[in-house]
Amino acid sequence: MHPSLPVVVIGGPTASGKSSLALDLAERFGGTVVNADSMQVYRELRVLTARPGAADLARAPHRLYGVLSAAERCSAARWRSLALDAIREARELGRLPVVVGGTGLYLRGLMEGLVELPPIPDAVRTAAREAREALGAAGFHADLATRDPAAAARLDPADRTRTLRAWEVVVATGRPLTDWQARGPGAPPADLRFLPVLVLPPREVLYARCDRRFAGMLDEGALAEVRMLDLLGLDPELPAMKALGVPELRAHLRGELGLAAAVEAAKRQTRRYAKRQVTWFRHQWERMHSWHVADAQQTENAIAEIGTILRETR
């Protein structure tokens, strides 16, 4: 392969069919599938994150699936570093890198660069959670406003994740999050050319797939997987503990929800998450002029175009 071999980047909401497309491309064009899902990196979450099974792994090499412990945090910056290594390894072997996932921040950071934020000490993370618990959402937001007025002005007090992050950054560094963000993202990788593909089926089709897939996860042992995760005694604030289905099934295992109620709650959260992903990709990715795949014909058209580009780089 020519050293200018491009990188196919496939994004889309959960249960959209993007992993199937990625595997088809990798098998057809001699590619390596690189995971860009923030939860599929955790080895303890094989079932609930729909990681590729043995049959899929036999069809093409896969990278960055189940590579981290659930006790770890995988930031966008950490994933990007791992992904760039996997992409360059694939190219050195003459394989087409096919990056696929629904974590929009990861995909955008890969292609455009990331705002470089400093690492946050665990003690500051703990202090942030304790402060929010003690003060409540409104009180914590008011405290953030005294430290970083600009961040507080644009954040909803109910947005737990983002208010915590803004508080952590200003406390850990002495500088507001807005100062760090004003630096802008780092540069995109100069040696890589990206071919973005957006998989976006109709909403009713997507929601039905979400429901069917979660039902299938239960048959494959999702409840046992969460039980084993619980036995690790991990901090409930870790990313893996917030994966779709984990909080609801943990509530069932604690006797707080019946199984049927837990399953319905998990399906509802999955559909809501898929809706947020659809909104993000429509707003963020359509400006990239990516191939928009919603049906079989569009899929074949995208594959044909990618094939033409690959032939030109041989």
pLDDT for position 312:
82
In order of their start, the domains of the chain are 7-114+186-313 (3.40.50.300), 122-182 (1.10.20.140)
Model confidence pLDDT, tens digit, residues 221-241: 999 999 999 999 999 989 999
Task: Among 45-59, 101-115, 132-146, 182-196, name the one with the lowest average pLDDT.
Answer: 182-196
pLDDT number for residue 290: 77
- The whole-chain average pLDDT of the chain stands at 92
* CA dihedral (294, 82, 76, 242) positive or negative: positive
Q: Which of 1-5, 161-165, 198-202, 277-281 has the lowest mean pLDDT?
A: 1-5
Average the pLDDT over each of 37-46, 178-187, 259-268, 298-307 and give the range with the smallest value.
178-187
pTM score? 0.87
Q: What are the tens digits of pLDDT across the range 79-88?
A: 999 999 999 9
* pLDDT score of 283: 85
Q: Taking 90 as the threshold, does the pLDDT of residue 161 lie above it?
A: no
Confidence band for 1, pLDDT divided at 50, 70 and 90: very low
Q: What is the pLDDT of residues 243-295, one digit of tens each?
A: 999 999 999 999 999 999 999 999 999 999 999 999 999 888 767 667 888 88
More confident residue, 47 or 161: 47
Mean pLDDT of 163-170: 93
